[in-house]
Homo-oligomer: A and B are copies of this chain.
Amino acid sequence: MPPVTPEPDSTLAIQKRQRALVDLLSAWVAIPSVSTDPKYAEDVHRSAEFLGRAAVDAGFQRAEVWETEGLPALFAERLEDPALPTVLVYGHHDVQPVDPVSEWLKAPFEALERDGELLGRGSSDDKGQLAMHLEAVRGILDARGHLPINLKLIAEGEEENGSGHFDGLLRAHREELRADVVVVSDTGMLGEDLPSLTIALRGNDYWELRVQTADTDMHSGVYGGAVLNPIQVLVEMLSKLHDGDGHIAVPGFYDDVVELDAATREELAAVPFDETRFLANVGAVPGGEQGFTSLERRTARPTLELCGIWGGYEGEGAKTVIPARAGAKLSSRLVPQQDPARITRVVGEQLRRLTPEGVRAEFKLITSGRWALTSSDHPSVAAAADVVEGVWGRPPLFTREGGSIPPVTSLGEVLEAPCVLFGVALPDDHFHAPNERVVLAQLFRGMEALGRLWDRYGAMGREALTAAPG
């Protein structure tokens, strides 16, 4: 472990980078790196190269465009000393499409600064947060000439288009990406005055179930009443996957679920969550597992949802058919410590038990992803919480996301390192919508927090940083 020597404080030098951050981000917003539309492929390449040059300008020792079969990622690193902790920062340099363009106050790829905000596609999601990282590095180097940690940066080019090649990229470059902690900056906070850190994401299994009761569709007059109907079989099987209280009726499903302890329930209860507004937003009817709050159900408890169903006649009017086949898409959101492969097995076994004799049933895994959790008392998260409190003036709330972020899942799995989700976007940033904006004060505070966080991580050393809590 290296000696912890007093270092000049970097805060002032980082604050001096505020104007540079706005300029860098404005120039980068001008590159329309839309990943969902092939006609912008060249722009996504330009964006990766722009980021590479900016990283070297900021003080990274090297930057490489990493090609994939889709769109390129950008990797950069600055290695100080193998004995110091290594942090890998994740973000993405591609952006969402801009339709409808007419609703933008200004052209979406021309940054507009006003009232302490910067408008433009990608300003918040996620170019702003990556620019924040670069300028924080530059500020620290301006003050001291070196970083308190080894820093690596991976910026994906297909995040807005499904991250289809990211997992493969991670596996191919596993050694170069190796780190003690992964810091993901692609999430947000509850509010400018309500700092928060996301500490958990749910995992996900997605399956298809097909049942077949005959070789061919049958006339409901001729066969009706004397043969099994595959839609009937399917609805009976699916209806038995939950009990009357909304619990999942699959033996073994809950075996590895970590029950929510009092501390976790308190942590969640502290998060302001307006259920009425949440439901009214989409006109939804409340539902789910008895014995838990809505927020617990949608973030900290596993689910088994029916995402699709089909069979027989779906057109206008009447067709008196008994189909030969029917099918459904099912999905489970998974929580610690559920193993996606084991859940696939127990759900498959239960469906087999529910399949009537003679019915041909096929149950197939489509996609699978692990949950992610770095608990609030993990040293890497606790340190982040401390610096957030120092910069924002109040301790952050710890939130859990109900969804999965596939690249985060991949990072955790492939690199086997704790993930800290440090993001400064705000709920009203209009990401994926017209007039995306970033609140500049959030980026500025974020730079300062990163400066302090790298100091903390460096001071803690590798061992303490990655030690299991408790």
Task: Check B305 against A318 for contact (C-beta < 8 Å).
Answer: no
Task: Check A285 against B403 for contact (C-beta < 8 Å).
Answer: no
Instruction: With CB as the reference atom, state the residue of chain B lying closest to A310.
Output: B314
Mark interface residues in A288-316 (1 if CB within 8 Å of B CB, else 0): 11000011011001110111111111100
Task: Check B331 against A318 for contact (C-beta < 8 Å).
Answer: yes
Q: Which residues of B contact A329 (CB under 8 A)?
A: 312-314, 318-319
Is A333 an interface residue, CB under 8 A from the partner?
yes
Task: Check A320 against B331 for contact (C-beta < 8 Å).
Answer: yes
Q: Which residues of B contact A326 (CB under 8 A)?
A: 309
Q: Which residues of B contact A236 (CB under 8 A)?
A: 239
Which residues of chain A from 196 to 229 have any CB-CB distance to chain B below 8 Å in the complex?
A: 202, 204, 206, 213-216, 218-229
Task: Check A228 against B359 for contact (C-beta < 8 Å).
Answer: no
Report the bound CA distance from A303 to B322 in whole Å: 12
Which residues of chain A from 384 to 399 have any CB-CB distance to chain B below 8 Å in the complex?
A: none
Within 8 Å by CB of A284, from B213, B301, B309, lies B213
What is the predominant secondary structure among interface residues of chain A facing chain B? mixed
Instruction: With CB as the reference atom, state the residue of chain B lying closest to A279.
Output: B227
Chain B's nearest CB lies how many Å from the CB of A112?
Answer: 30
Given A303-B225, A402-B223, answer yes or no on A218-B287 (Cβ-Cβ < 8 Å).
no
Task: Check A235 against B235 for contact (C-beta < 8 Å).
Answer: yes
Is A404 an interface residue, CB under 8 A from the partner?
yes
Q: Which residues of B contact A234 (CB under 8 A)?
A: 235, 309
Task: Check B221 against A404 for contact (C-beta < 8 Å).
Answer: yes
Q: Which residues of B contact A219 (CB under 8 A)?
A: 403
Task: Check A229 against B287 for contact (C-beta < 8 Å).
Answer: yes
Report the bound CA distance from A359 to B403 in whole Å: 25
Chain B's nearest CB lies how many Å from the CB of A254?
Answer: 13
Is A470 an interface residue, CB under 8 A from the partner?
no
Is A356 an interface residue, CB under 8 A from the partner?
yes
Is A116 an interface residue, CB under 8 A from the partner?
no
Which residues of chain A from 351 to 380 have any CB-CB distance to chain B below 8 Å in the complex?
A: 356-359, 366-367
Task: Check A298 against B356 for contact (C-beta < 8 Å).
Answer: no
Within 8 Å by CB of A298, from B225, B295, B317, lies B225
Task: Check B308 against A231 for contact (C-beta < 8 Å).
Answer: yes
Which residues of chain A from 232 to 279 have any CB-CB distance to chain B below 8 Å in the complex?
A: 232, 234-236, 238-240, 242, 275, 278-279
Instruction: With CB as the reference atom, state the residue of chain B lying closest to A206.
Output: B318
Mark interface residues in A447-462 (1 if CB within 8 Å of B CB, else 0): 0000000000000000
Is A2 an interface residue, CB under 8 A from the partner?
no
Is A143 an interface residue, CB under 8 A from the partner?
no
Q: Which residues of B contact A294 (CB under 8 A)?
A: 226
Is A100 an interface residue, CB under 8 A from the partner?
no
Mark interface residues in A23-35 (1 if CB within 8 Å of B CB, else 0): 0000000000000
Task: Check A232 against B306 for contact (C-beta < 8 Å).
Answer: yes
Within 8 Å by CB of A309, from B216, B225, B228, B309, lies B309
Chain B's nearest CB lies how many Å from the CB of A222?
Answer: 5
Within 8 Å by CB of A303, from B224, B275, B286, B323, lies B224
Task: Check A288 against B367 for contact (C-beta < 8 Å).
Answer: no
Given A204-B221, A305-B322, A314-B310, answer yes or no on A283-B216 (Cβ-Cβ < 8 Å).
yes
Which A residues have a C-beta under 8 Å from some C-beta of B?
202, 204, 206, 213-216, 218-229, 231-232, 234-236, 238-240, 242, 275, 278-279, 282-289, 294-295, 297-298, 301-303, 305-314, 317-324, 326, 328-329, 331, 333, 356-359, 366-367, 401-404
11 inter-chain pairs at a CB distance below 8 angstroms, sorted by A residue, are: A214-B282, A214-B285, A216-B282, A221-B403, A222-B403, A226-B286, A235-B309, A307-B321, A309-B326, A319-B329, A320-B403
Known: A225-B305, A235-B306, A287-B356. 6 other contacts (CB 8 A): A227-B279, A229-B306, A307-B318, A307-B320, A308-B312, A320-B331
